[in-house]
Amino acid sequence: MKNWPISSIRRRNNPAPVLLILAALLFVSGTASLCLGPVSLPPWAVLSALLGSGEGTAAQIVLLARLPRTCGCLLAGCALAASGAVIQGVLSNPLAAPNVIGVNAGAGLAVALCCALAPRLAALTPLAAFLGAFAGVLLVLLISDRTGAAKITLVLAGVAISAMCSAGVDAVVTFVPDALNGYSDFRIGGLKNLSMARIAPAFWVILIALALLLSLSGDLDLLLLGAETAQSLGLRVKPKRLLLLALAAALAGAAVSFAGLLGFVGLIVPHIMRRLLGEESSLALLLACALGGGAFLTACDLLSRLLFAPYELPVGVVLALAGGPFFLWLLLGQRGGRKHD
């Protein structure tokens, strides 16, 4: 495949086994997240709490602490991975990801402004995150188009926009210190102290955006053939590209609204899924990214809780330690690919 020179992609005719394995991994990681922690709980105690028949400390731990956190991990991982897959496909750039091209940073700035200017309107946070994410990606695309639309230009424009948005968040927190409670966790990315009420608005945004993306997977397949080919097949390329990017921004923005500026999920997971699935349809890829992203982030969050227990490492640190070398490997692969072209 021309757009993905760095990966040894093979054709697979049936994605069902891979999807079933990913679903099993999602279930295992979610169950482990509910059971393990500073206080380990047996599976039957967790099940009793979920069914409403549990009592005492174990039920409170499950319902008030671990269940919202696990749901947050699953939702954020699913959203960020699917968003990354769409962004990479639409832009035909394997280096693109929500945290690389300014999507996360734009959403973070919008969330900070929303918390500072309308602290009582928590339900508006996912909307603000979407608007910020979409504005960020449009700005990066504009800069990239004006400078030739090279792949590395897109990445550099994203880095610049991310830096400016991060400075904006710092300014908001400086002038309104209470705008973001736990600002450090928000900036690095963390899932502590979540509640079901806090993630509920983002859940609906993620559900609707993901359903729309799955329904548009055929159009994404056409875009992967190239703009000229897609145009010749009757696809209105520019409006469809903007719509897909808007849905990707909605996914990433909704995740950022409660999980903070998590990085590299949208970069790592789509590449792994492409290697597992081969030249499959975008529908299979999006489903795999949704399942694999949820399992990956949940596993990373569990590792961050257990690695230095009883102390907790922000999950964003674990992702950065894993994603930084992966991103450098991608850059080296891109450089090597250009030498052979």
> Mapped to the 3 state alphabet, what secondary structure does the chain carry?
CCCCCCCCCCCCCCCHHHHHHHHHHHHHHHHHHHHCCCCCCCHHHHHHHHHCCCCHHHHHHHHHHHHHHHHHHHHHHHHHHHHHHHHHHHHCCCCCCCCCCCHHHHHHHHHHHHHHHCCCCHHHHHHHHHHHHHHHHHHHHHHHHHCCCCHHHHHHHHHHHHHHHHHHHHHHHHHCCCCCCCHHHHHHCCCCCCCHHHHHHHHHHHHHHHHHHHHCHHHHHHHHCCHHHHHHCCCCHHHHHHHHHHHHHHHHHHHHHHHCCCCCHHHHHHHHHHHHHCCCCHHHHHHHHHHHHHHHHHHHHHHHHHCCCCCCCCHHHHHHHHHHHHHHHHHHHHHHHHHHC
Evaluate if residue 340 carries a pLDDT over 90: no
Of 36-45, 296-305, 317-326, the poorest mean pLDDT is in: 317-326
Q: What angle do CA 230, 232, 236 make, to 5 degrees?
A: 55
Per-residue model confidence (pLDDT) at position 284: 93
Quick one: pLDDT at residue 35? 93
Summarize the confidence of residues 9-23 as an average pLDDT. Answer: 78
298 has a pLDDT exceeding 80: yes
Q: Which of 212-216, 234-238, 332-336 is the least confident region?
A: 332-336
pLDDT value of residue 33? 94
pLDDT at 32: 95
* pLDDT of 249 above 80: yes
* pTM across the whole model: 0.85
Out of 102-111, 122-131, 238-247, which region has the weakest mean confidence (pLDDT)?
Answer: 122-131
Per-residue pLDDT band at 223 (split at 50, 70, 90): confident
The yes-or-no verdict on residue 158 having pLDDT over 70 is yes
pLDDT digits (tens, 9 = 90+) for 209-219: 999 999 999 98
pLDDT of 62 strictly over 60:
yes
Highest mean pLDDT among 42-51, 85-94, 153-162, 331-340: 42-51
- Give residue 339's pLDDT: 46
Computed over every residue of the chain, the mean pLDDT equals 83
Average pLDDT over residues 7-31: 81
**Domains by residue range for the chain, with CATH:** 37-89+97-340 (1.10.3470.10)
Q: Examine the pLDDT at 263 and tell me if it is beyond 60.
A: yes
Per-residue pLDDT, 313: 83
More confident residue, 61 or 310: 61
Q: What is the pLDDT at residue 130?
A: 83
**Residue 71: pLDDT band by 50, 70, 90 thresholds?**
very high
